[in-house]
Amino acid sequence: MDSIHIRGGVTLQGKVRIQGSKNAALPILAASILTKEPSCIRNCPRIADVYRMLSLLNSLGCEVSWENDGIRICAGNICSGDMPKEAITGMRSSLCLLGAMTGRCGEVVMEHPGGCVIGERPIDLHLWALGQMGVAFEEAGGRLYARAEELHGAYIELPIASVGATENILLAAVMAQGDTVICGAAREPEVVALCRYLQCCGACIEGVGTGLLRICGGRKLKGADFRVPADRIVAGTYLFGCMITGGNVFLEEAPAGEMGSVLRLAESMGTQCDLAQEGIYVQSVPRPILPSAIRTAPYPGFPTDLQSMALAVMTVGEGKCLVEENIFENRFRVVEPLRAMGADISVLDSRRVLVKGVERLSGRDTEALELRGGAALVLAGLRAEGETRIQGCGYIYRGYENISRDLRELGARIISV
Ligand code: UD1
């Protein structure tokens, strides 16, 4: 099932339910090992990265089982902090086990984590911040050894509001002795979801959703029953799917409250977005009107994870738009394949491209080079004349439970092969 085939030209219509958030679920699953009591994590997406995280937790000694819409995890007896190589290297989010394992066991040995091919993705801030809390690191033979004699609270001023580093600090801080203050913390909804779960477990965290978090560490945590929020990036992908085909759809359970910048962009492009309690009604125009510029930024700014899909929509809009990427380098690898489909995109430098809208795209054989760029090619395929066949869709399945099924529900002619 590595390919997706699309016959373009269908206007999306109907309703689709938005899956649970990948980037919220993964750190929450890691957090569940901070207590010996069982937790039930509901609405986890059934995607490769979640299965990988579960097998990783299982190999550490956790009991893991799927129960109806939830995953029951019990970390009553975890001991060894030596994690299997395969699970770690393929998945960036396994990095949150660094904070969770040092919090729970005082030590961990892991490979340098992998992830999507969207830039270097250093982990210096994670190491530096945990170092402030008493964790000593050594690197040998490509492995990272982390050990804390006594984890203690610290005042940590993050120079970049890193999502992963904020999550790692939180995971260690709730277990540390004393208070931790994170200044310049990431405010992304996934960080908020992690805080909410930890609070349900009994942790004391103040300032949730702001850049200043205060954690009173050392409380005994208990198990919790928690529902992972819907995935704002998947919701945004289908919103853009609707826009690129000039469609009319209902995004059931879409987290409108977390999608302000995305909805504002859609509306500025002529799309009508009506918010209801159960989701978002989207009514788009045949050809979106391009804004003069968009730029990615930390939350509440426009998310880097939706930049490629926005770019795909813009290729068929009216006018021209400057797209600026400010979070990750290598986020423009999708430009070449989009150009091959007929898009008019000029690369100005490594962080900026200029898109001029064209009337039509043509279906092609093409390849997904990373997760979000792959999803952008699916959107381009929905609009393109003729057939688009995308190879390398393993990347796409890392973030979308079943993108072909979801888009078929909206009328698209698309299959996973
Ligand atoms: C998370 C998300 C990813 C999203 C990103 C930004 C997960 C699994 N992934 O990634 O989908 O695109 O947030 O919203 O949740 N940085 C450093 N040193 C570090 C850490 C980060 O320089 O130690 C830099 C990065 O290179 C990047 C910026 O900080 O330029 C933001 O990265 P960060 O917020 O950490 O992203 P991730 O947590 O990796």
Query: Per-residue pLDDT tens for 337-395?
Result: 999 999 999 999 999 999 999 999 999 999 999 999 999 999 999 999 999 999 999 99
The structure tokens 């962080």 sit at: 351
- The answer to whether 201 and 223 are in contact (CB under 8 A) is yes
Euclidean distance between CA atoms 201 and 272, whole angstroms: 40
- The answer to whether 146 and 157 are in contact (CB under 8 A) is no
**Cα-to-centroid distance, 114 and ligand 1 (Å):** 13
Residue 115: pLDDT above 60?
no
List the single range of 79-83, 136-140, 320-324, 393-397 with lowest mean pLDDT.
Answer: 79-83
**Cα-to-centroid distance, 180 and ligand 1 (Å):** 21
- The answer to whether 395 and 22 are in contact (CB under 8 A) is no
**Cα-to-centroid distance, 186 and ligand 1 (Å):** 10
Residue 66: pLDDT above 60?
yes
Residue 143: pLDDT above 90?
no
- Of 29, 56, 24, 26, which is closest to residue 41 (Cα–Cα)? 29
- The answer to whether 33 and 60 are in contact (CB under 8 A) is yes
List the single range of 106-115, 227-236, 275-284, 353-362 with lowest mean pLDDT.
Answer: 106-115
Mean pLDDT, the chain, integer: 94
Q: In ligand 1, which atom is closest to the CA atom of 125?
A: 23
The per-residue pLDDT for 155 is 98
- Token code pair at residue 399: 């973030």
Residue 158: pLDDT above 60?
yes
**Cα-to-centroid distance, 311 and ligand 1 (Å):** 21
Is 116 a residue of the active site?
yes
Give me Rg for the CA atoms of the chain: 21
What is the DSSP secondary structure assignment for residue 93, as one 8-state letter? G
Residue 114: pLDDT above 70?
no
Query: Which residue from 47, 326, 327, 351 has its CB within 8 A of the most atoms of ligand 1, so it is best to mutate?
Result: 327
- The answer to whether 95 and 168 are in contact (CB under 8 A) is yes
Residue by residue, DSSP assigns 170-198 as HHHHTTSBSEEEEET----HHHHHHHHHH
Euclidean distance between CA atoms 345 and 315, whole angstroms: 8
Q: What ranges do the domains of the chain cover?
A: 4-18+230-416, 26-227
pLDDT band at 89 (very low <50, low <70, confident <90, very high): low
Euclidean distance between CA atoms 211 and 303, whole angstroms: 17
Closest C-alpha residue for ligand 1 atom 30: 327
pLDDT band at 81 (very low <50, low <70, confident <90, very high): low
Euclidean distance between CA atoms 373 and 312, whole angstroms: 9
Euclidean distance between CA atoms 298 and 300, whole angstroms: 6
215-253 pLDDT, tens digit per residue, is: 999 999 999 999 999 999 999 999 999 999 999 999 999
Write down the architecture of domain 4-18+230-416 according to CATH: Alpha-beta prism (3.65)
Query: Which residue from 121, 124, 295, 329 has its CB within 8 A of the most atoms of ligand 1, so it is best to mutate?
Result: 121
Higher pLDDT, 345 or 122: 345
Predicted TM-score (pTM) of this structure: 0.96
| 26-227 shares the fold of 4-18+230-416 | yes
Q: In ligand 1, which atom is closest to the CA atom of 26?
A: 8
**Cα-to-centroid distance, 223 and ligand 1 (Å):** 28
Residue 80: pLDDT above 70?
no
Closest C-alpha residue for ligand 1 atom 11: 305
- The answer to whether 281 and 240 are in contact (CB under 8 A) is no
Closest C-alpha residue for ligand 1 atom 37: 164
Q: Please list, residue by residue across 31-67, b when 16 or more beta carbons sit within 10 angstroms of its beta carbon and e when fewer do.
A: bbbbbebbbbbebbbebbbbebbbebbeebebebeee
Strand partners, 181: 155, 214
How many other CB atoms are there within 10 angstroms of residue 69's CB atom?
A: 12
Q: Which of 44, 74, 96, 116 is catalytic?
A: 116
- Of 270, 294, 290, which is closest to residue 282 (Cα–Cα)? 270
Q: CB within 6 Å of ligand 1 — which residues?
A: 23, 26, 92-93, 121-126, 160, 162-165, 186, 188, 190, 304-305, 327-328
CATH class of 26-227: alpha beta
